């Protein structure tokens, strides 16, 4: 064995011993494995973004997942309050996750929506993902409904969904 080979074995043994010693002391040893991939929006169920407690607070039933009508390949979720009394207003929330950062964080104008009873709110969750949340009261039967109130409702739902998303393990 040459002096160089002996030195290499000694160095390798020292590194292995140091790694074992550090691991035994509770120090973290850097991982050489690649980072876990983040799930694509189509793999994340947007209906899971509202917990039972959050849905109860918003007065909503279970969400219904469906193909997104704006982006092929993505899914969205829709929640309604399922009015049981004749005079109870009808409300609807929607959520969808999209690839890429939010173009605008905050209110997003949607010309196809009645601005008196609807609002869409967008939040950047990460540099590679954003959340789009909509609130609507199609019949306009929520007392005092206007665009500002609709946006407050969309923002409240977006805040709840963002908290759920960020708390979920990845």
| Predicted TM-score (pTM) of this structure | 0.69
Beta-sheet strands, E only, within the chain: 64-67, 75-80, 92-99, 106-108, 118-126, 129-136
pLDDT tens, position by position, 89-141: 889 999 999 887 767 788 887 888 888 999 999 999 888 889 999 999 988 99
d(CA 159, CA 164): 9
pLDDT tens, position by position, 142-151: 999 999 999 9
27: tokens are 């120090």
74 with 41: CB under 8 angstroms?
yes
115: tokens are 């601005």
């Amino acid at each position: 064995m040459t002096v160089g080979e002996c030195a290499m074995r000694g160095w390798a043994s020292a590194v292995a011993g140091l790694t074992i010693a550090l691991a035994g002391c509770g120090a973290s040893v850097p991982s050489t494995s690649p980072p876990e991939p983040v799930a694509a929006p189509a793999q994340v169920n947007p209906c899971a973004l509202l917990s039972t407690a959050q849905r109860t607070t918003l007065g909503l039933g279970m969400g219904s997942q469906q193909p997104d009508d704006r982006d092929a390949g993505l899914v969205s979720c829709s929640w309604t309050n399922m009015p049981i009394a004749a005079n109870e207003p009808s409300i609807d929330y929607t959520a969808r996750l999209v690839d890429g950062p939010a173009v605008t964080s905050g209110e997003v104008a949607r010309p196809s929506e009645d601005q008196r009873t609807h609002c869409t709110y967008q939040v950047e969750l990460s540099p590679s993902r954003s959340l789009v949340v909509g609130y609507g009261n199609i019949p306009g039967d929520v007392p005092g409904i206007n665009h500002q109130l609709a946006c407050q409702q969309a923002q409240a739902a977006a805040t709840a969904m963002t908290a759920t998303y960020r708390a979920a393990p990845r």
